[in-house]
Amino acid sequence: MRAVVLRELGDAGNLRVEEWPMPVPGPGEVVVRVRAASLNHRDVWIRRGQYAGIRLPAILGSDATGEVTAAGDADGKSWLGREVVIDPSLEWGPDLRAQGGDFHLLGMPTEGTYAEFVKVPAANVYAKPSHLTLEEAAALPLASVTAYRALVTRAAVQAGEIVVITGIGGGVALAALTIAVSLGATVYVTSGSETKIASAKQYGAAGGVTHRASGWPRTLLEMIGRRPDVIVDGAGGDTLAQALDLVKPGGRIVTYGATCGAVPSLEVRRIFWKQIDIRGSTMGTPEDFSRMLDLYATGVRPVVDSVFLLENVAQAHARIDSGDQFGKIVLRV
Ligand SMILES: NC(=O)c1ccc[n+]([C@@H]2O[C@H](COP(=O)([O-])OP(=O)(O)OC[C@H]3O[C@@H](n4cnc5c(N)ncnc54)[C@H](OP(=O)(O)O)[C@@H]3O)[C@@H](O)[C@H]2O)c1
């Protein structure tokens, strides 16, 4: 089969299509013929060498949709020929509150979805939501399960609450916007780009401010008219520090990423005086994934920024490197 193989860490040009052995399913496993795969920031961290436990050569990619072409046992055979999406969380473990020590993601060190075929546990395939295109279905798994767990399982967002989502151009952030709007929340966003704020309004955001301007929390507070109940943040750094100022007393902050690195100075007094609840969130359990798909089945659609052919994976990575994307970047296989 053809697969995108990363043999050397570095820039996007290091991702090259090669011939690679076909995966063979073992007991409890199926092979999926990949029709579309999508990029996540994790792939960029790995490509640049900024991720723990990198093993090369690697086939990156956590997200895919396609059809099941082979099964390792009778259980998997019921999936043969069916269109599926793949849950990229492997071996979550028994505790629903947090993943266990064996937890890992599809796509390094396991062979990922930037390929014509991928092998996964049969328990990780789910029927593709029928109202979604292949590209939309491929855009779902990692970003949407992360957003779903952050908003629903961890923050327990209620209809009528005010939710602020930082860095709305990101894949997880945009999934969070569409999910929060479908839950009945009023959503405000931040972005480095005014154009992205305008686009977010088309997907249901009530408004937004650029996080490039100093004092953005005050501007956002004036826009909303009251402090938000929940802030969902994947940026970390100064943005997370400022979220402590912005959130209402007794409010919740869910953190799922650190694109901007560590928080430079943590104002501990803010946390205890305002009785802020800071909740970490990573990926999701099989239950989170299944409930996320149920929510999309009500008609919710993910936002696709652009579609590239597998051969043009370097261009797709150059786009995510640029930060110009609004939504998910998809590879058509
Ligand atoms: N814990 C988990 O399970 C999990 C899962 C998925 C992702 N993550 C992490 O979450 C982060 C986002 O992932 P992704 O795949 O959604 O990334 P992505 O699609 O590449 O988006 C990254 C986004 O970061 C935003 N950003 C940049 N500077 C910012 C700032 N100063 N303040 C606020 N936002 C800023 C940008 O938003 P604008 O373009 O709007 O400026 C950009 O679109 C990454 O760090 C990733 O590793 C964690």
User: What ranges make up the beta strands (E) of 199-316?
Assistant: 207-210, 230-233, 252-255, 277-280, 304-309
Report in angstroms the alpha-carbon separations of 292 from 57, 104, 127, 287.
32, 20, 13, 8
Contact, 4 vs 17, CB < 8 A?
A: yes
In the reported structure, the alpha carbon of residue 171 is separated from the centroid of ligand 1 by a whole-number distance in angstroms of: 7
pLDDT for the residue 171? 92
pLDDT for the residue 330? 98
Ordered alpha helix ranges (H), 78-170: 134-139, 141-148
Contact, 302 vs 175, CB < 8 A?
A: yes
pLDDT for the residue 214? 86
pLDDT for the residue 240? 96
In the reported structure, the alpha carbon of residue 14 is separated from the centroid of ligand 1 by a whole-number distance in angstroms of: 22
Report in angstroms the alpha-carbon separations of 251 from 211, 216, 242, 276.
21, 19, 14, 5
Ligand 1 pocket residues where CB is under 6 Å: 40-42, 45, 142-143, 146, 166-173, 190-193, 196, 211, 234-235, 239, 256-260, 282-283, 320, 323
- Nearest ligand 1 atom to the CA of 239 is 32
| Series of mean pLDDT values for 10-residue runs along the chain (333 residues) | 98 98 98 98 97 97 98 95 98 98 97 98 97 97 98 98 96 97 98 97 98 94 98 96 96 97 91 98 98 95 96 98 95 97
Q: What is the DSSP letter of 122?
A: G
- Give the global pTM: 0.97
For 219, the 3-state DSSP assignment is: helix
Residue with tokens 């086939």: 59
pLDDT for the residue 75? 86
DSSP letters along 12-80, please? GGGEEEEE-PPP---TTEEEEEEEEEE--HHHHHHHTT-STT--SSB----EEEEEEEEESSHHHHTTB
In the reported structure, the alpha carbon of residue 172 is separated from the centroid of ligand 1 by a whole-number distance in angstroms of: 7
Q: Which of 38, 39, 41 to mutate to test the pocket of ligand 1 (most atoms within 8 A of CB)?
A: 41
In the reported structure, the alpha carbon of residue 259 is separated from the centroid of ligand 1 by a whole-number distance in angstroms of: 5
For 259, the 3-state DSSP assignment is: coil
Residue nearest to atom 27 of ligand 1 (CA): 167
In the reported structure, the alpha carbon of residue 272 is separated from the centroid of ligand 1 by a whole-number distance in angstroms of: 27
241-250 b/e (C-beta count within 10 Å ≥ 16 → b): bbbbebbbee
In the reported structure, the alpha carbon of residue 19 is separated from the centroid of ligand 1 by a whole-number distance in angstroms of: 32
For 238, the 3-state DSSP assignment is: helix
Q: What is the DSSP letter of 248?
A: P
In the reported structure, the alpha carbon of residue 167 is separated from the centroid of ligand 1 by a whole-number distance in angstroms of: 6
pLDDT for the residue 294? 97
How far does Cα 230 stand from its chain's mean position?
A: 19
- Number of helices (H), then strands (E), in the chain: 11, 17
| The two structure tokens encoding residue 233 | 């943040």
- Nearest ligand 1 atom to the CA of 238 is 31
Contact, 304 vs 136, CB < 8 A?
A: yes
Q: Which of 259, 320, 328 to mutate to test the pocket of ligand 1 (most atoms within 8 A of CB)?
A: 259
- Nearest ligand 1 atom to the CA of 196 is 40
pLDDT for the residue 265? 87
Residue nearest to atom 2 of ligand 1 (CA): 282
pLDDT for the residue 266? 87
Contact, 295 vs 2, CB < 8 A?
A: no
Task: Give the up-direction half-sphere exposure of residue 61: CA atoms within 13 A in the CB hemisphere.
Answer: 36
- Nearest ligand 1 atom to the CA of 42 is 47
| The two structure tokens encoding residue 83 | 């269109």
Q: Whole-angstrom Cα distance, residue 27 to residue 8?
A: 32
pLDDT for the residue 79? 97
In the reported structure, the alpha carbon of residue 315 is separated from the centroid of ligand 1 by a whole-number distance in angstroms of: 19
pLDDT for the residue 153? 98
| The two structure tokens encoding residue 293 | 């798909």
Q: Which of 38, 146, 172 to mutate to test the pocket of ligand 1 (most atoms within 8 A of CB)?
A: 172
